[in-house]
Structure 1
Amino acid sequence: MKKRVHGFIQFIGLIGIMSLTLHPVHAAKLPRLLQEVEAKYARATTLEADFSQINVLSALKRTKTSSGHIQFKRPNKIRWETLKPDPNLLVSDGKKFWFYTPPFDEGEQGQVIEKKTSEVQTKFAHALLSGSFSIARNMKVKQEKPSRFALIPKKGTAGTVIRAEIEVDPGEKLIKKVTLLHRDGNRSEISLSAIKLGEPLEDRLFSFVPPPNTDIVKE
């Protein structure tokens, strides 16, 4: 089960951002469209969307796909539910993270891995998906197409990530796709649809109580 959980959190948690330092930068350094997107997202306290994710593993010449639903609540609450092909769930209340994998078959145990938020570095991916572009210091921002932007981290500041790409809907001012390119050739892509900003989300969505017959692992 740990392998399944590891694959699930590869994009959001273990993308090598341990040394990324986040500080505000002046908004004028952002292209105008990204400023407008960021301003729209800043007015909303919540975000939810359906996602489809593609992980390209270069060394193995393998592509993995998944899909599900994500919910964010400012400042740092996350619910990331993968529905296909293998159901699993990531939940954070801002203090703890829970990674839950249900049992494969009836009678088997599920598993939940519990970590402190400080031990799971999600700031980079969370920032991009939630429109907080101005918090990323040590990055160059390039507008490659009218609605596509590349973010290039300064060497040594973003772990294995060498490039991030963001695609937005220029009319709706919504983030539609985020891509991370890693120095080992791996690529992670997340496409968002059915995006809702500012909808009420109850705090109970961002807490987790393990079901019966669940193996609890605290790391």
Structure 2
Amino acid sequence: MNVFARFFTGLLVLFSVVVNAADDQAAAQLRKQLDAMNTLQGDFVQTTYDKAGVEQERSSGNFMLMRPGKFYWKTLEPMPQLLVSNNKTIWLYDPDLETVNIREFTDDLRETPALLLSADIAQLRKNFSVARTAKDAVTEQYTLTPKVTDGMFQQLTLVFKSGQLAEFAIQDSLGQLTRCVLGNVQRNVALPEENFFFVPPEGVEILND
């Protein structure tokens, strides 16, 4: 599975989190923000930078998220691509290549930034250091750093504006930064379950990881 798929698979496990208790103020504040989201949908602009801060690529599209671990992430520009999960199976559809990559949603995929939305606060604090910064009266930034440094990322940043998830960024072990800015976000609206299941079009090549 490509870097894009691993990255957002990580995010969505993150979106599955149900946090139970906290004795750390930053983790407790993050819990409140995450607990307020059962579904989320909107648009995104995702930009990747190299370790020198030079832009490498940019993509945009729309998304839908639902707890636990369900997501629909559709890239429209510059090349179409669709990533879908029902928390059991992940489909990555590339219409230009006419391929569908299918992967089981296994435990190893939870060893990613998305863990933040799938685990309780005790597990979160066991695996990450959490820092909170109030940027202004309506903006909060949470920086999560893994306590074990041999994983796929070095740091994850979540930015909330007026209680709404507005952007996130992930820095990988090579210093590459991927930043995703969300727009037209709607929270806790009803989303049909069928949005999180994908039927491969006839004639496409099916690849199984």
Partner of 2:24: 29
Cα distance 1:145–1:24, how it changes in 2: closer, same or farther (>3 A)? Answer: closer
Q: State how far apart, in whole Å, the 2-side matches of 1:65 and 1:101 are.
A: 17
How large is the Cα RMSD of the aligned pairs?
A: 3.1
Task: Report the alpha carbon displacement of residue 213 of structure 1 after superposing the two structures with TM.
Answer: 2.3
Task: Report the alpha carbon displacement of residue 58 of structure 1 after superposing the two structures with TM.
Answer: 3.8
Q: State how far apart, in whole Å, the 1-side matches of 2:89 and 2:45 are.
A: 25
Q: State how far apart, in whole Å, the 2-side matches of 1:78 and 1:24 are.
A: 20
Q: Percent identity?
A: 24
Partner of 2:157: 165
161, 166, 189: which one aligns with 1:199 = 189
Q: Write the letter of the residue equivalent to 2:104.
A: K
Q: Which secondary structure state, in structure 1, belongs to the residue aligned with residue 7 of structure 2?
A: coil
Q: State how far apart, in whole Å, the 1-side matches of 2:45 and 2:192 are.
A: 24
Matched, 1:143 2:128: no
Is 2:19–2:120's contact at 8 Å kept on the other side of the alignment? no
56, 69, 76: which one aligns with 1:76 = 69
Q: State how far apart, in whole Å, the 2-side matches of 1:133 and 1:47 are.
A: 20
Q: State how far apart, in whole Å, the 2-side matches of 1:11 and 1:78 are.
A: 13
Q: Write the letter of the residue equivalent to 1:85.
A: P
How many residue pairs match? The answer is 198
Is 2:10–2:115's contact at 8 Å kept on the other side of the alignment? no
Write the deviation string for residues 143-184 of structure 1: whole angstroms up to 9, x where unpaired.
23432221111024x603111112110x3x011111111221
Task: Report the alpha carbon displacement of residue 211 of structure 1 after superposing the two structures with TM.
Answer: 1.2
Partner of 1:98: 91
Q: State how far apart, in whole Å, the 2-side matches of 1:84 and 1:183 are.
A: 27
Q: Where does the alignment leave 5 or more consecutive residues of structure 1 unmatched?
A: 104-108
TM-score norm. by structure 2 comes to 0.80
Q: State how far apart, in whole Å, the 2-side matches of 1:93 and 1:209 are.
A: 12
Is 2:171–2:177's contact at 8 Å kept on the other side of the alignment? yes
